[in-house]
Amino acid sequence: MDNHLSVVVVDDHEIVGLGLKKVLEDQDPRYRVTSYPAIDQMELPEPPVVVVLDLRLADGSTPVSNLATLRQAAVPVIIYTSGDNPVLVREAIAAGALAIVRKSAPLSELVEALDAAAEGRTSAGIDWAAALDADEDFVSQHLTPTEATVLAHYASGETSDVVARELSMSKNTINTYVSRIRDKYRAAGRRADSRVDLFKRAAEDGLVSYFDHDQ
């Protein structure tokens, strides 16, 4: 009886797919691994199949949209990532990912997650637990709605003048908001001295996308 498990890797770094094919198929001959750089280029084999999905892809797609596509296909998904963005991790969990596995984790952790996902079971690793246990969302806990809006615009590269016009405020008011936002991040131990720092904080907190601008 053929009890193979097809593993579809979606990662825009070709070496990740090639590496997983090598180690997984060497680990167990029942694994059949293929890889693609994006969801819209993926071809799903006959089930049983598990998709191993990177959180961030070069095409700018989001974990939520990719997981929605895979959910419609009734395919179980494991997130396989080198990033440590808790916002994206929480989004992926909420969107239906069955496991979050770091690329630096032992192969055994990925194998365990694959076998569990193939049976429709979750496999809660350290990253998943940390994201679920996080009791503080910086934006909702520390920034007012107006501050969050100002940060989203300013961190995306807009000047204070442009932000002021778009939000019907004065330039001085915008600068005051930006100063307060910087102070709040610094108080939380998160660097916010430069515009690049603010972009990174805004991206970490889900207000802008890392793919929006070349920082």
* pLDDT tens-digit series, residues 89-118: 777 887 888 888 988 889 999 999 999 999
1 pLDDT higher than 50: no
Domain count, the chain: 2
Write out the residue range of the structural domain in which residue 155 sits: 138-204
Domain stop point among 133, 160, 191:
133
24 Cβ partners below 8 Å, 6+ apart? 7, 31, 33, 107, 110, 111, 114
84 pLDDT higher than 70: no
CATH number at residue 93: 3.40.50.2300
Domain stop point among 133, 150, 174:
133
Shared domain check, 125 and 75: yes
